[in-house]
Amino acid sequence: MNVETLIFAYLAICVSMILFNIACIFVFEAKDRQLQKRSRKMEHAVEEQFYQVEKGEPVSNSHTDYLSWKLRKISHLMAFDETMERLRQVNPDVTDTYLKEVCSVFIYLMESYSKKSELKAAYFPYIIYKYGIMRNNSETSMNRQLLDMVRSQNLYCRENALKALYSIGDVDAVMEALHILDWEEVYHNPKLLSDGLLLFAGSHSRLCEQIWDKFDSFSVDMRVTLLNYMRFQSGEHGVPMLRLLSDKKQNAEIQYACIRYFGKYPAPEAYPILLDFVENEQERSWEYAAIAATALASYQGEKTVQVLKRLLSSRNWYVRLNAAKSLEDLGLGYVELIDIFEGGDRYASEILRYCMDMKKAREKGVNQT
């Protein structure tokens, strides 16, 4: 094959790519125009019902029939989404009332969308979550379909189904979803799950009560995820957290989560346990001392300072680092730590200097912005 042939082949490929990109631009623009046209028609139909709602009258049956017919197609559901976004910015109260009036349409369409491809199916529960369409209106058939979607291997389908369940606010439905993920070994990212539970629209106290009642029925991984959720949810779980932290036979990962809880919500009862984790570092894995060293930043006092100073001489780098950060968080500066800087432990002084240099770099970056 000569050079000229290669050049012509290369030019042909380039021209083909340019033509393909031009074709894509025209296709996407055409689709966008179609979406805007559908959105205008949808907005006109919805605005007529807004006038009814503002007068205190219900949405007409002909309108719910219209939605039931149109929203079967994903393109019209996208147009409905765009319409609701615009109208909610202008009149959020009327929009919410309108959506409650048409929730029966979404109950009707749920089964239809659950049979579509996973990407299309995932969009439907996203709309339910986004607009809180079923908030405080738990409906058995919809919950069942959403729970089936929780079993999906598609992340978007699974995550949006969970968000829809959170938005409904039904404690029993969410608990069933958690058991499906756990018992049927459907992997869902723990961070997505713990953060998602914070979106729950119902009573968090009732949900947490159910979680504690069924706590032992979950796997260790799920228990850790639920403990993380409760840590971010409130500081009202000190008693059961302390019980788990005090249990010497308890799983280490569960106890790590409890240590982090008492770092966020200091409790006098937890303080001696945290001290034991750092003072008897050799008796357990290094993670206990490292995480407890971070938690001790929430416990002011000379005892804490002295313990953290001793941890600066730990053989483990992470323990030393977390102890140095906690001393910094407690507000100690060079004067209070001069015995470390001028002492004979090079590793202790270096980790302190490292943390202080990092703090100065962060402050410099903030000042520059």
pLDDT band at 29 (very low <50, low <70, confident <90, very high): low
Residues 104-161 have pLDDT tens digits of 999 999 999 988 988 889 999 999 999 999 988 888 889 999 999 999 999 999 999 9
Instruction: Write down the pLDDT at residue 33.
Output: 62
Is the CB of residue 259 less than 8 Å from the CB of residue 281?
no
**Could you write out the DSSP letters of every residue in 303-330?**
HHHHHHHHHTT-SSHHHHHHHHHHHHHT
Instruction: Write down the pLDDT at residue 257.
Output: 97
Q: How many CA atoms lie within 13 A of 320 on its CB side?
A: 18
Structural domain boundaries in the chain: 66-188, 267-369
Which run of H or E residues covers position 285?
Answer: none
pTM: predicted TM-score of the whole model, two decimal places: 0.85
Q: Which of 83, 9, 97, 91 is nearest to 39 (CA)?
A: 83
Instruction: Write down the pLDDT at residue 366.
Output: 60
Is the CB of residue 51 less than 8 Å from the CB of residue 91?
no
Contacts of 41 (CB under 8 A, 6+ apart): 79
Is the CB of residue 85 less than 8 Å from the CB of residue 39?
no
- The CATH class of the 267-369 domain is mainly alpha
Q: Please tell me the distance from the alpha carbon of residue 328 to that of residue 356, in angstroms, as a whole number.
A: 8
Residues 163-191 have pLDDT tens digits of 999 999 999 999 999 999 999 999 999 99
Higher pLDDT, 46 or 200: 200
Angle between helices 3-54 and 74-90 in degrees, nearest 10 = 50
